[in-house]
Amino acid sequence: MKIGWIGLGNMGIPMATQLIDAAYQVAVYNRSKGKESELQKLGAATAETPQALLEKADIVILMVSDDQAIEQIFEGDKGLLSADAKGKIIINMSTVSPGISKQMHQKCKLNGIDYLDAPVSGSVKQAETGQLVIMVGGEEEVFEKAKPVLEKLGKLTLRVGEVGAGNQAKLAINSLLALYTQGLAETVLFANQNGVKTDDLLNLINSAAIGNIFTKIKGDAILAENYKPAFALKHIVKDLRLARDEGISSPLAKTVLKTFENAEAEYGEEDLIAVIKALK
């Protein structure tokens, strides 16, 4: 099976590498040139346009930043919808709106192309080790065809409904992610204000029932003052706005969106745990 990959950011490169390591024939396309070389060294081919990529692949996977990027890749000059690709599958693993997935699904359907939305939970480390959690929206038959490929990328691949459902699930998970992040940051600052050292507090949290992988990873980042973006703060702002647009309106959701929006101007390019600096 030939796989096309679009989007070579922090997540795209390690995910595409997983497929190369699994002995799939992989070709890549990236809107900004230069990032393909790392995968070319591993044996990947390249394509000049999304159209060309889809025409020589069985499945094309996208991992890009937002709805606007999706529109450009599908509908731009020599985009995916320009391809003669009846019977092929496009899997959109980007965190985007359910609406854009439904739109692209309908346009793909007119061209005889199958579409799945399959965003992931996990960051760069999980992408590098094939331990992502993948939530999929789309037709059962199409999902079963694509599942063996997706299982090379994640430890759990679960169909949660029709097209758009994967995006809805991801927005729900990322809303909780933002709540976790702000909660951890506020807890550390409160403890510090009252004389409790950060490393002692984190040791207690991670030894208690409330500890989890996230608090361990982000706690270590706080201790090291390491704000290199595994998941940039600006991206959680985008996801929280998408969740708001889909109807989340609880008190916590409103508060966390305001917090991260206020932090974005100064800390948007840093990891989302940099919100602790804004709260301080």
Give me the CATH number covering residue 231.
1.10.1040.10
Structural domain including 154 reads: 2-162
Residues annotated as part of the active site:
170
What's the CA gap between 150 and 134, in Å, rounded?
A: 8
| pLDDT single digits (tens) 210-224 | 999 999 999 999 999
Last residue of a domain, one of 162, 182, 214: 162
Beta pairing partners, 114: 89
**146 and 14 housed in the same domain:** yes
**158 and 173 housed in the same domain:** no
Tokens of 249: 């309106």
The residue ranges of the chain whose pLDDT is under 70 are none
**Strand ranges for the chain from DSSP E:** 2-6, 25-29, 45-46, 59-62, 89-92, 114-117, 120-121, 132-137, 154-161
**207 and 73 housed in the same domain:** no
Last residue of a domain, one of 126, 145, 162: 162
| pLDDT single digits (tens) 14-60 | 999 999 999 999 999 998 888 899 999 999 999 999 999 999 999 99
pLDDT of amino acid 31:
87
Q: What does the DSSP 8-state code read for residue 96?
A: -
pLDDT of amino acid 33:
83
Give me the CATH number covering residue 158.
3.40.50.720
pLDDT of amino acid 32:
84
Q: Indicate the number of domains in the chain.
A: 2
**122 and 225 housed in the same domain:** no
DSSP string for residues in 217-265: HHHHHHHHT----SSBHHHHHHHHHHHHHTT---HHHHHHHHHHHHHHH
